[in-house]
Amino acid sequence: MYDIGIIGGGPAGYSAAIRAAQKGLSVVLFEKDSMGGVCLNRGCIPTKTVLHCTDFYKSLKKSDKFGITISEITYDYEKIFNRKNDIVLKIQKSLTKLVQSFGVEIICSEAKLVAQDKIESNGNIYQCKNIVLATGSKPANIKGLESDGEFILNSNDVLKLKELPENILIVGSGAIGVEWARIFNALDKNVTVVELADRLLPLADSDVSKRLDRLFKKNKIKFYTGTKIERIENKKVVLSNGQEICIDMILCAVGREPVLPKIEGFSLDLNGKFIKVDDNFRTNILNVFAIGDLNGKMLLAHSAVHQAISVIDYIAEQKKCHFDTNSVPSVIYGNLEIAWVGKTEEALSDVEYKVSTFPVAALGKAMADDEIDGFVKVLSVDNKIVGAHIVSPEASAMIQQFALMIDNELKTEEILKTVFAHPTYSEAVFESVLGLDNMSLSLPKGI
């Protein structure tokens, strides 16, 4: 008998396996596809690899501004495609060896629950004192825009393209939609984004949405908000606002839905499409837990890792899980990076709060890098940071500083004891906190 059986080898599953082994527990992990789950194989890593290539290409095109002359700048997307695959494969192999180094038994086949303490795979039964479900998620479909792998693509399909079409319509302006809009646009393709909500990035702070609006216009990415596809006629799309667009491909980027595990003989309670869990990620079956995308709390790889650590500590030591969605950062990659954590200004409309927005253009580092379009916006209540929103180079790193502030409920006077290095983008963190009391050192009086 194993102490823990884990179904799913993505960030939630492999992190839980390693943590359990570190705690001295015996572990068997089942993965029917490739280790790493969606994040490594069909999400974060391949997408960011492609995005880095395209950002690099885009940067080279303005090399003259930095005194560097390049006579001809071109790209070969097949090489970008191959680099993406090579990196994914390299990490896959490394990850498998990492998990095995802790003594975790990996079963590379599909698994199903056949009893509350038994997992079946390839005709074999594995008895487990505790079972952790980490089967992840898949691209969501909307009626009329189901993937056909050729004209209508989802986020899995688009990573399989070896050649890019000239005219692309992207449905949805969340992280996936925005990142792929940036990729296609950087590679000189015609991009149109359609968003049903009344603004881009509807889950972000409205000031972030407004800045993304400006960045899209600057980069000549067309977009329509409050709009949906009315009908598709051959390769012509008719929008609800009356616009007609001739396109070569549609990327449907409208979110994700859970991949539910196979179960026989009993059932797990659901919360909508997701598996219902308590504060310790336990399902209605006491020894069965669900973590990561499967429980729907927050569909992010780093969220899944945190849940994995928490649930294993609960199983091993009965230490209550700590997971506060309010302090989990969200990041959208590309140029400029976009990141946020905590409350938006709209969510604070019924309480007294302070707001400070510091323009990145006031930083010497931003001027040197020719990256002056961004800002850092911070929100506080009772002298504690409750939200932060960044559009800037290195936003993915800076947002973590605010996450630490929020999770530890630091007061602003405590934060300002820290010395921030110069010249860095992180100075904008310091300056934005100073600005809560109109004490910024880098802005003229009254701004």
Report, as residue numbers or ranges, the catalytic residues: 422
* CA 237 remoteness from chain centre: 29
Helix axes 11-22, 301-317, angle to 10 degrees: 30
Residue at token pair 């929020």: 406
CA atoms within 13 A on the CB side of 285: 22
Residue at token pair 């947002």: 399
> Closest Cα to residue 285, out of 265, 261, 297, 267?
267
* 180 vs 332: CA distance, rounded Å: 11
In angstroms and rounded to an integer, the radius of gyration of the C-alpha atoms of the chain is: 23
- Asked whether the beta carbons of 302 and 12 are under 8 A apart, the reply is no
- Residue 175, token pair as written in the block: 């992280």
CB atoms within 10 A of CB 146: 10
> Given the DSSP bridges, would you call strands 244-246 and 236-239 parallel, antiparallel or unpaired?
antiparallel
Helices (H), 300-341: 301-317
Element spanning 193, H or E: strand 190-195
- Residue 161, token pair as written in the block: 């393209």
- Asked whether the beta carbons of 206 and 344 are under 8 A apart, the reply is yes
Helices (H), 69-204: 77-101, 155-158, 175-186
CB atoms within 10 A of CB 325: 10
